[in-house]
Amino acid sequence: MQFGFFDDAAREYVITTPDTPMPWLNYLGNSAFFSLLSHRAGGYCFHTDARLRRLTRFRYNDIPADSNGRYLFVNDGGDVWSPSFAPVGATLDSYECRHGLGYTRITGTRGGVEVATLFLVPLDDPAELHQVTVTNHSDAVKELTLFSYLEFCLWDALDDQTNYQRNLSLAEVEVEGSTIYHTTEYRERRNHLAFYSVNCPIAGFDTDRDTFVGRWRPLAQAEVPHSGAPRNSLVSGWYPIGSHAITLRLEPGESRDLVFILGYAENPPEAKFVAPGVVRKDPARALLARYQTVAQVDAAMAALRGYWDSLLDGFQLRSADPLLDRSVNTWNPYQCMTTFNLSRSASGFETGIGRGMGFRDSNQDLLGIVWMLPERSRQRILDLAATQFPDGSAYHQYQPLTKRGNHALGSGFNDDPLWLIVGVCHYLKETGDWSILDEQVPFDNDPALAKPLLDHLIASYQYVVTNLGPHGLPLIGRADWNDCLNLNCFSDLPGESFQTTANRGDGRVAESVFIAGLFCYALPDLIAVLRNRPAGAGTDELALAAELEQALAAMTAAVDVAGWDGGWFRRAWDAFGEPVGSAANAEGQLYIEPQGMCVMAGLGVSDGRARRALDAVEARLASEHGIALLAPAYTSYHLELGEISSYPPGYKENGGIFCHNNPWVIIAETIAGSPERAFDYYRRITPAYREAISEVHGQEPYVYSQMIAGPEAPRHGQAKNSWLTGTAAWAYHAVTSWLLGVRPGLDGLVICPRMPSSAGDYEVTRRYRGATYHIRVIGSGTSAAGRLTVDGQPVDGEVVPVAAPGEVIEVVWSALRSPKSSVSQE
């Protein structure tokens, strides 16, 4: 069952009913101002930091699930309704929501009146625009009153939900003409304010929620819009809102346009007020002046479309599969942008309160974004490296507003340092910007501890090799990639954090085979970087490269001995020296993570163990909805394993289909010579291929979810935690770099297709280091080797040399011979 359809020409997903299984969201925003917006106009917005600069309130875990947003109430002669269906819930004669790239348009019709609202955040301003078009399609004159509505958050979203003894006495506003200024806390430490305005005279306003809604009424039955008249209420403490009352008289066939602006402004601390108690409004007025007409909003919309067209033109696929094309060309990179902007901090499942930017998360997100945003990726790398400690470990998260590490969570997640190597090496392959290695970057944000970025990468390596366990494998610390596998924490206190409780003993026994695989995956690139710096590798760098090679060989040997279980790669060794992810275990015998990562690193490929491990995955973990994280799932709580066994079987890390690591197996299958199986796995988790089962999947059919309920769950196939997931970047990397086989390398663009023969021929347009490459792939899947020509001339190997910026290069790859298992290095 479907609840809408893809409009590929418009790059939109069209939702045709408000009754979707879950709120289906879109993200609006640029690099500083962001909005979450559901298909029923629910959600919230913030500037830079979802916790510390929250403009509007949202209620998670409410009934209904999508509670609070930017709403319109229409009073048509006493008939009150909302064009987004919510909050009133009156039946609509027609409904449509179009989620596009950075904008959403929601249209509802009732009683001959159509109200269409375009929501967008302009590229260069901290504001959300709502262009409302009201049309009278009836044969009679319509006398309408529109009531806008949103609820202001008192900035710090955590404090807003917890500190009522203070907050219920704080709220302040100023109203000037058609603009409501939200000035709570401005009189003291803050120098920022929010404002909500409309570009026409108003019949009145309300800023006090209790007055607008009425005593003991739900928002759907709010007193002011049902009475048809505003109260001009001025909030004094309690709950601040913004509502404009606008009267319209429309002849049959007549339309009227309105522009609402929800914005954010800052003043210099020394110039906050123009008079005692009167907020300086100059920055707000300047912003408002830029969006007073439909033409100005149209220009902002055109700029937004142009921006996305320019970004996405950097990688465009033309194949025989429209679902593949829409995923690669539009929706997957669009989601990559969102995960890059927000990491895992603010979604329909993450409140934006408890998490900041993740160190491992943000480094992995670079895999899906550097080709689109090299400059911003460069800055993100420097921000991340600055949260490292001198020993190479790192804060697990940092707040985007302060760019400082979150002390409450701290460090000790021992895979974190290696992801910096992965992220930086990918950036170098994509951009050729070797200068980044010489950038002075502080450790722990302390300028006195600044070192070149290259030193940070070496510190990452050294942290791993100086923290090895009894088997010569990396110590796991609080957790590795799987935050729920907590082999040192032993929590038996209800409500205690599984990750941050004190470790049992000294924490120097429990080891991670996954981190070992990640080490073997990351180090070859770092060795290549050390040996191939354009200025020439010095003696120290060559010696260091040799040291890294020895460490790589030692780690490979350790995995061979202690990481191999006989039919697959083990997951770990626990604090008692017992294997995890082994046939010797009663439950949790096989884990997905080391099978994907170790084979991606080339481990076991030459001797057939990689094939055996991947066949075990296919036999024991794969399902019609994707590959489960482990099997069999744990049926009771294991103190020595931690959070992973706290979930019911089939959910999250306990046997759920954790989509993030499915692409590792997809990549591994291309390396091991099984493109048909790799592409089959890709289709099982990719949203566009799951659209037809939306009633089962539940989440948006245009973006990946973190998790799909696994085979042992009662609701196998139901997705959760959509949008903000590392699945986006890894799925994009898997399909573009490994299946389609067009990926960046240090010396040029690598062309190594691994699509199944059923996919047929295809074409890729790829922007790379300022040049444009038109790539034709002929016969992928019929051969693992191909003939490569560049501008009609044959080229040995798989690498297309780097062209000068502005050049257009014609590339053809054509199959040569029958496929066989091989490893193609980036």
Q: Which residues are catalytic?
A: 483
Sheet strands side by side (includes 742-744): 742-744, 748-751, 799-801
Do residues 405 and 387 make contact, with C-beta atoms less than 8 angstroms apart?
Answer: yes
Instruction: Tell how strand 799-801 and strand 43-47 pair up.
Output: unpaired
**Two tokens, residue 422:** 């992965």
Assess contact for 294 and 257: CB atoms under 8 A: yes
**Sign of the alpha-carbon torsion through 614, 616, 622, 626:** negative
Nearest in space to 658 (alpha carbons), one of 686, 628, 699, 703: 628
Cβ-contact 231, 202 below 8 angstroms: no
Alpha helices, DSSP H, located in 327-445: 332-342, 359-365, 374-385, 416-431
Residue 409, φ and ψ in degrees, nearest 5: -95, -35
CA contacts within 13 A on the Cβ side of 517: 28
The values of phi and psi at residue 563, to 5°, are -100, -15
CA atoms within 13 A on the CB side of 415: 27
- 8 A C-beta contact, residue 185 and residue 237: no
Q: What is the CA angle 73-77-83, rounded to 5?
A: 30
How far from 459 is each of 416, 466, 552, CA to CA, in Å? 12, 10, 16
700 neighbors 629 (Cβ within 8 angstroms): no
Which tokens hold the place of 614?
């991947």
Provide the residue type at 608 as one letter.
G
List helix spans (H) across 567-608: 592-600
Instruction: Tell me whether the omega of the peptide bond preceding residue 711 falls within 30 degrees of 0, making it cis.
Output: no
Whether 483 and 512 have beta carbons less than 8 Å apart is answered as no
Cα torsion 498, 502, 506, 510 to 10°: value is 0
CA distances from 227 to 39, 77, 307, 705 (A): 27, 10, 44, 43
CA distance 246 to 149: 12
188/524 Cα distance (integer angstroms): 54
> How many degrees, rounded to 5, is the angle at CA 231 between CA 226 and CA 233?
130
CA distance from start to end of the chain? 41
What φ, ψ does residue 673 adopt, rounded to 5°?
90, 25
Q: Which residues contact 64 (CB under 8 A, 6 or more apart)?
A: 86
DSSP structural state of residue 739:
I
* Cis peptide preceding 126, ω within 30 of 0: no
The one-character DSSP state at 559 is: I
CB of 617 closer than 8 Å to CB of 629 = no
What residues contact residue 250 under an 8 Å CB cut-off, 6+ apart?
A: 113, 134, 135, 136, 141, 142, 144, 256
Q: Under a CB-based contact definition with an 8 Å cutoff, are residues 688 and 331 in contact?
A: yes
